[in-house]
């Protein structure tokens, strides 16, 4: 892993709008784009099959709508995404007003390639930042979709915001059961309700680590470690049919906390080993770290095989207890294995530093 990078001009936020087929993404996007908060927004749309006319439904976008090739957001389409973002970056440099980018994925898409693109391409990494993943879930068909479609479960698990749509078409009992299921799957994402496709943009935007309207990052809102910890301590199984919920059973989430500063060398080495050997199981990692030799906190964010360059924040949040917190969303990888490996690498790094075999110094500025 790289060392944290110096501060740079505020990059353009990217909101990833995802959700399974028929969840109402285009309807919601049309409503959002009428709001002043989304003026000067560029929209990138990924299509699939018969959904190929969706871009004609997106209104008021002039020349800032880019239609990506049909297919899932991976491989060749991921290349299209990089080219589209690079073209937008050039237009920004030329003075074109683009304050936000929304990527609307096909309902069959895995969000991970988009997040990895934002972390890996140097131009994209410099010009953009992930603001958040917003996942829509159809209240009427959501339970059946989660039972049948592994990608739908993954879309919900990695979300920063979960939005229920079409609740008027579902019974209160169905909505309540779906609500509980999503809360178990992703306790850190606020659950929101879009009535007739209407929702206030403020509920969906600025859920990333950085917010241009604030001087300091809203770390608590981004990480929400307390929600994961409360979920872990208060979690109970409610008699779900594990065969029906087999996709849910493969994915789980938790937060690890550390009272004492962590050695960067040990932690970085462990993260590299984890992503190289089990990257397909690492759906998402978020962390706020107190590192040995560092006064300022360091934020990390990883998706499968890739990590965003670690970022050294200006200061700790007011009243923060300065414990390291790492949130994991994993598939087919148990908590005990992760925690044991992390602690082993950290202890090994401390022992090497104590014997002079490794430099214990802080991260570069």
User: Of 221, 282, 279, 227, which Cα lies nearest the Cα of 251?
Assistant: 282
Nearest-angstrom CA–CA distance, 272 and 104: 30
Q: What is the pLDDT of residues 154-209, one digit of tens each?
A: 999 999 999 999 998 999 999 999 999 999 899 888 999 988 778 888 888 888 76
DSSP notation for 95-111: T----EEEEEPPTT--S
At a CB cut-off of 8 Å and minimum separation 6, what does 167 contact? 139, 175, 193, 195
Q: What is the pLDDT of residues 295-328, one digit of tens each?
A: 999 989 999 888 888 888 888 878 888 999 999 9
Q: CATH topology for 12-203?
A: Rossmann fold (3.40.50)
- This prediction has a pTM of 0.81
pLDDT of residue 54: 42
Q: What is the mean pLDDT of residues 236-251?
A: 58
The domains of the chain are located at: 12-203, 247-354
Nearest-angstrom CA–CA distance, 41 and 156: 24
Q: What is the mean pLDDT of residues 285-291?
A: 92
pLDDT of residue 50: 40
Tokens representing 275? 């992503």
pLDDT-derived band of residue 51, with 50, 70 and 90 as boundaries? Answer: very low
Helix (H) or strand (E) holding 233: helix 225-234
DSSP E strands in the chain: the ranges are 12-19, 41-46, 65-68, 100-104, 128-138, 161-165, 191-194, 251-258, 282-289, 298-303, 306-307, 311-312, 324-331
Total Cβ atoms within 10 A of residue 230: 14
pLDDT of residue 285: 92
Q: CATH topology for 247-354?
A: Hypothetical Protein Yjia; Chain: A;domain 2 (3.30.1220)
């Amino acid at each position: 892993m790289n060392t944290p990078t110096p501060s740079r001009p505020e990059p353009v936020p990217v909101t990833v709008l995802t959700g399974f087929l028929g969840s109402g993404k285009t309807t919601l996007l049309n409503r959002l784009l009428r709001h002043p908060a989304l003026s000067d927004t560029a929209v990138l749309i990924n299509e699939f099959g018969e959904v190929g006319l969706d871009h004609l439904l997106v209104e008021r976008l002039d020349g800032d709508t880019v239609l990506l090739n049909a297919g899932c957001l991976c491989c060749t389409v991921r290349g299209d995404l990089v080219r589209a973002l690079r073209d937008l970056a050039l237009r920004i440099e030329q003075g074109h007003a683009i304050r936000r980018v929304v990527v609307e994925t096909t309902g069959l898409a895995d969000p991970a390639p988009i997040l990895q693109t934002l972390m890996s391409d140097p131009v994209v990494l410099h010009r953009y930042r992930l603001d958040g993943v917003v996942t829509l879930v159809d209240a009427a068909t959501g339970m059946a979709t989660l039972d049948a479609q592994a990608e739908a479960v993954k879309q919900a698990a990695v979300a920063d915001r979960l939005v229920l749509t079409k609740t008027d078409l579902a019974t209160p009992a169905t909505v309540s059961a779906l609500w509980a299921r999503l809360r178990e799957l992703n306790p850190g994402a606020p659950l929101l309700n879009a009535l007739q496709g209407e929702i206030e943009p403020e509920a969906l935007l600025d859920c990333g680590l950085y917010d241009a309207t604030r001087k300091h990052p809203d770390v608590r809102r981004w990480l929400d470690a307390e929600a994961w910890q409360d979920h872990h301590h208060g979690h109970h199984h409610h008699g779900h049919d594990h065969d029906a919920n087999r996709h849910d059973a493969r994915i789980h989430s938790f937060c690890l906390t550390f009272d004492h500063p962590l050695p960067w060398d040990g932690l970085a080495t462990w993260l590299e080993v984890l992503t190289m050997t089990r990257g397909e199981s690492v759906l998402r990692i978020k962390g706020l770290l107190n590192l040995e030799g560092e006064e300022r906190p360091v934020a990390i964010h990883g998706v499968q095989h890739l990590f965003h360059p670690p970022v050294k924040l200006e200061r700790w949040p007011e009243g923060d207890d300065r414990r390291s917190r790492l949130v994991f969303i994993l598939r087919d990888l148990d908590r005990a294995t992760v925690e044991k490996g992390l602690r082993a690498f950290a202890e090994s790094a401390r022992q090497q530093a104590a014997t002079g075999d490794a430099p214990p110094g802080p991260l570069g500025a």
